[in-house]
Chain A
Amino acid sequence: MLKSKTFLKKTRAGGVMKIVREHYLRDDIGCGAAGCTACGGAHEGPALEPQPQDPASSLCPQPHYLLPDTNVLLHQIVSAWRPGTWDSVASSLRLPGSLETYVEQEQGENANDRNDRAIRVAAKWYNEHLKKMSADNQLQVIFITNDRKNKEKAVEEGIPAFTCEEYVKSLTANPELIDRLACLSEEGNEIESGKIIFSEHLPLSKLQQGIKSGTYLQGTFRASRENYLEATVWIHGDNEENKEIILQGLKHLNRAVHEDIVAVELLPKSQWVAPSSVVLHDEGQNEDDVEKEEEREQMLKTAVSEKMLKPTGRVVGIIKRNWRPYCGMLSKSDIKESRRHLFTPADKRIPRIRIETRQASTLEGRRIIVAIDGWPRNSRYPNGHFVKNLGDVGEKETETEVLLLEHDVPHQPFSQAVLSFLPKMPWSITEKDMKNREDLRHLCICSVDPPGCTDIDDALHCRELENGNLEVGVHIADVSHFIRPGNALDQESARRGTTVYLCEKRIDMVPELLSSNLCSLKCDVDRLAFSCIWEMNHSAEILKTKFTKSVINSKASLTYAEAQLRIDSANMRDDITTSLRGLNKLAKILKKKRIEKGALTLSSPEVRFHMDSETHDPIDLQTKELRETNSMVEEFMLLANISVAKKIHEEFSEHALLRKHPAPPPSNYEILVKAAKSRNLEIKTDTAKSLAESLDRAESPTFPYLNTLLRILATRCMMQAVYFCSGMDNDFHHYGLASPIYTHFTSPIRRYADVIVHRLLAVAIGADCTYPELTDKHKLADICKNLNYRHKMAQYAQRASVAFHTQLFFKSKGIVSEEAYILFVRKNAIVVLIPKYGLEGTVFFEEKDKPNPRLIYDDEIPSLKIEDTVFHVFDKVKVKIMLDSSNLQHQKIRMSLVEPQIPGISIPPDNISNMNLNGPEKKKMKFEK
């Protein structure tokens, strides 16, 4: 049957357009119930279970299907997670297309009412249809709606209907399910006295109007980690000024949550504020202390010089919520028997969430997941509901799970569908594989990696040619041979984007069979590789570049240390050693050239844990050591990446996947320049080269660590390097490496970007064929976006893992005091770095229950004067490190000042000597064990 729809629409230009559309009503949509003779096999897609296995409900004892209305489905999808709980009838969206259940909009009926009616008609149709199908087994469809009127009408029409809450309460088997219901009921919102705290959000249509006319700005809301009353909004678009707007105070934040897309209104200049340097955490247990909040807000507004003021605004509406389920812990309410509790998310940027649960006592001390349902105007905190219990706090598994979840790292085991695309074992190289491949098994190739590395994705060789030149080859695991475009394995790796290395665990991007076996270029086995071979002269100038797919047989898998030993040893003369020496010689020249061009050598304190082999507890911390061989491998990887980047960009100017590192805006360097100035050093930041040179010059004979500190600070000034699609951008420059073009080619086992680059290169040299998604620059741009996100998240997850293990380490170690250097100076705190552990921490000078010391903060130098002692950046101090477990959720390393001594603030040294005594003793005991 054909229905025609005619309606008038206003166009963007303001004209009125008449739109005529056809609508074909189908008579071939089945009901989806298995064995329904009336519909035959017309149904496709997921079918209903023949006999719904619902948990017993006291409201409707006979077997039944559920038909939730759209709102219930949208809001309760989390509770719908659990299989077996909701056997919902095929989604209501499909039914209106069917002939029997088509509902036309009546005069004066709005779209929502029509939808509701359509769902009711569908429910009725289903009930009659199922009755026809089998009179004896009494199947029923139950309509679930939270809309009172809708329910009344349904009952009138003879459809069994319940509200969500009624139904879930009636489920005798699952009493805990009620906690998981999103509390949306109107009564639920009136928890508080009704005092309205926040101003209303404007409707979307008004926001869009405002954004178009420029009165409002659209941007991503980013809450501050350090101060819950402050946030910034990153404005979308390329408008250079007003890129970032500051929001201050609860009312101006107006219920926006981290990552939401919001519309903000700029405040008049007279109300602009400067970003406060105060560290402030939301700790109030009771909810309604709005007055107190205002007091605190006042505290932020200290007098500052005119030019420090930044554009300030307030949130007028939310364009898109980006809520997700949050990990965190329950802060049990003080009132006994209370069912409403506050939940504190692990991420400090997320406000606390009020949830309703009856299992507070069991959930105490556990990590749980909670989802936000809404944030009414009269409530200090958003409302949410309990989703999942992860386990005890402090347990290593729980904490790892939390940090993976919090950083959105996909870490489930690979599905069957994914594994089905793995090659069958035992695997060997076949004739077919040899097509388009060069046999390089005779070459003396070896790999150099950190100790314990099982996913070896690069190997090297170097030999002298007959004409006296050198042939250097970089051989990369040919992952794209195993991961074919478009299949489940490819999709899963694309989604994961990168392998995540945590302290004691590796979350693989590709299944282990590939990562640690077939793709890993282990020694003495034949492996498929993608080789990049250069002919160079002895001054490391490239004469010829060749890319080819190949088969290699690595002669040795060395660690950095082993390789270094071979190079240094006087009496080893075998092929591998000569090869390594040749590589090392060339690498040194390459590095020199690169640095001459202005590549930066930056520094960041990296630490490694020595793990106890049984308990996997960290026993010792060590900063990473760098050898010549590290930089040798790195140099050739850079060279390969640059060569490949040139090649693929030459071949595919529109859709090459490249990596760029934008130059940071000059303002980023302010901290560095000021800090150096305080030491009478000058840092030039106009170009990468001058920065590199001035960093090299910045030495102090009395203070050898200063240079490293400056480099650490410089690292903080940098921008993130990102992947992009060459057709979507025209700035390709890599600032840090001082290369006009760059990409990632050398680690396809652990980075998906490399897999794409491999495919592009394979097409470019005619070794493989292209596929549609590869040549679509929009698809490629989407991939880049995901990869950038995953890489960022993986980095954060790694840091979080290190932080957690540092805590474990200090837990076992007890209290120690160490030398530290000041990295930053804040208004009420200093941030220090402890070189011995590569550990960074904050020393606060304000405590809640103590009288505040006299603090004078000078932003220009920057320095902080406490009583009579002045702290500058890079000053050496002594701090005491201990684990603060007072807040179970955020166990943290607490640092307090030991030296210089300030009465009333620093800790008296005799106190420490005691602790120092305790420390070694404990250690001894451990050895005895």
Chain B
Amino acid sequence: MAGLELLSDQGYRVDGRRAGELRKIQARMGVFAQADGSAYIEQGNTKALAVVYGPHEIRGSRARALPDRALVNCQYSSATFSTGERKRRPHGDRKSCEMGLQLRQTFEAAILTQLHPRSQIDIYVQVLQADGGTYAACVNAATLAVLDAGIPMRDFVCACSAGFVDGTALADLSHVEEAAGGPQLALALLPASGQIALLEMDARLHEDHLERVLEAAAQAARDVHTLLDLVVRQHVREASILLGD
């Protein structure tokens, strides 16, 4: 690892957080009127926008329609200005395809797709600023957008990343911590049941440590859930005031 000290002797991380602490989360639902559902989330400096259309008829080839459930279509993109260096990212590059696929897996597990057979749900996510944990931010934004669209789900899907540095599990990695090259794990959780919608890790980590890192990520995901729940309640309250109840 680079010379940077990711975790000080006193237990603080580079940006002043403790090992299990999340970055500041701010979110809003219903940011676009055009779409069926939309949401915007900020997790520290990672900012993402999610838009949901559907459920609607299958667009394009009818052959894709599933007889027993809805098709979930996810597209991920990141803005050219999202990272330190401006860089054009064409649609359909490998990274965004992979991310789209992961999102799709996550939401197929959470959305009650069997309620809408032969239809399609589109989830578009764009990252406006990337500072680590983009997958987690995308999932969280998309959850809010799906909720905003009124599509029935089993539960919230809350995601969070976790890493492992010097024998300590760190929750919600920032870009600096990700770039250091340690093992990193992404977890999407259905908090009420504790079921895992998606778990992804592509580095080597000894099995003895896995449990701890997983627990750190799960705890962080539950924390995210508390916050998202507040956002949803706040949004519903505002909406009902507007309706004049």
Q: Is the CB of A772 within 8 A of B176?
A: no
Residues 7-39 of A contacting B (Cβ, < 8 Å): 15, 17-26
Give B204-221 as 1s and 0s: 1 = Cβ < 8 Å from A's Cβ atoms: 001011000000000000
Is A775 engaged at the interface, CB distance under 8 Å to the other chain?
Answer: yes
Q: Is the CB of B16 within 8 A of A19?
A: no
B7-15, B32-40, B61-69, B232-240: which lies at the A interface? B7-15
| Nearest chain A residue, comparing its CB with the CB of B85 | A17
CB within 8 Å of A: which residues of B?
A: 9-12, 15-17, 21, 23-24, 44-45, 84-85, 129, 131, 174, 176, 206, 208-209
Q: Is the CB of B10 within 8 A of A22?
A: no
List 21 A-B residue pairs with CB atoms under 8 Å apart, sorted by A's residue number. Answer: A2-B24, A15-B85, A20-B131, A21-B15, A22-B15, A22-B44, A22-B174, A23-B16, A24-B16, A24-B17, A24-B23, A24-B24, A25-B16, A44-B11, A45-B10, A94-B12, A97-B16, A770-B206, A772-B208, A772-B209, A776-B206
| Nearest chain A residue, comparing its CB with the CB of B16 | A24
| Nearest chain A residue, comparing its CB with the CB of B83 | A17
CA distance A443 to B244 in the complex (A): 93
Most central of A4, A15, A25, A97 by chain B CB within 10 Å: A97
Q: Is the CB of B10 within 8 A of A44?
A: yes
Q: How many residues of A contact B (CB 8 A)?
A: 22
Most central of A44, A45, A772 by chain B CB within 10 Å: A772
| Nearest chain B residue, comparing its CB with the CB of A486 | B167
Other than the given A21-B45, A25-B16, A771-B208, 18 more pairs (CB < 8 A) read: A2-B24, A18-B84, A19-B84, A20-B84, A20-B131, A22-B23, A22-B44, A22-B45, A22-B174, A23-B15, A24-B17, A24-B21, A26-B16, A44-B11, A97-B12, A97-B16, A772-B206, A772-B208
CA distance A15 to B86 in the complex (A): 11
CA distance A334 to B23 in the complex (A): 67
Contacts of A772 in B (CB 8 A): 206, 208-209
| Nearest chain B residue, comparing its CB with the CB of A8 | B84
CA distance A17 to B86 in the complex (A): 9
Residues 770-787 of A contacting B (Cβ, < 8 Å): 770-772, 775-776
| Nearest chain B residue, comparing its CB with the CB of A16 | B85
Contacts of B24 in A (CB 8 A): 2, 22, 24
Contacts of B11 in A (CB 8 A): 44
CA distance A150 to B208 in the complex (A): 50
Give A43-77 as 1s and 0s: 1 = Cβ < 8 Å from B's Cβ atoms: 01100000000000000000000000000000000
CA distance A642 to B209 in the complex (A): 33
Interface pairs A-B: 3 shortest CB-CB: A772-B206, A24-B16, A17-B84
Residues A771 and B17 in contact in the complex (CB < 8 Å), given A20-B131, A44-B10? no
| Nearest chain B residue, comparing its CB with the CB of A102 | B16
CA distance A25 to B16 in the complex (A): 6
CA distance A19 to B179 in the complex (A): 13
CA distance A22 to B10 in the complex (A): 19
Contacts of A4 in B (CB 8 A): 45
CA distance A333 to B222 in the complex (A): 72
CA distance A238 to B176 in the complex (A): 32
Contacts of A24 in B (CB 8 A): 15-17, 21, 23-24
| Nearest chain B residue, comparing its CB with the CB of A775 | B206
| Nearest chain A residue, comparing its CB with the CB of B209 | A772
CA distance A17 to B87 in the complex (A): 12
B15–chain A nearest beta-carbon distance, Å? 5
Contacts of A776 in B (CB 8 A): 206
Contacts of B45 in A (CB 8 A): 4, 20-22
B8–chain A nearest beta-carbon distance, Å? 8
CA distance A21 to B174 in the complex (A): 9
B231–chain A nearest beta-carbon distance, Å? 18
Contacts of A19 in B (CB 8 A): 84
Contacts of A15 in B (CB 8 A): 85
B51–chain A nearest beta-carbon distance, Å? 25
A17–chain B nearest beta-carbon distance, Å? 4
Residues A771 and B16 in contact in the complex (CB < 8 Å), given A22-B44, A22-B174, A45-B10? no
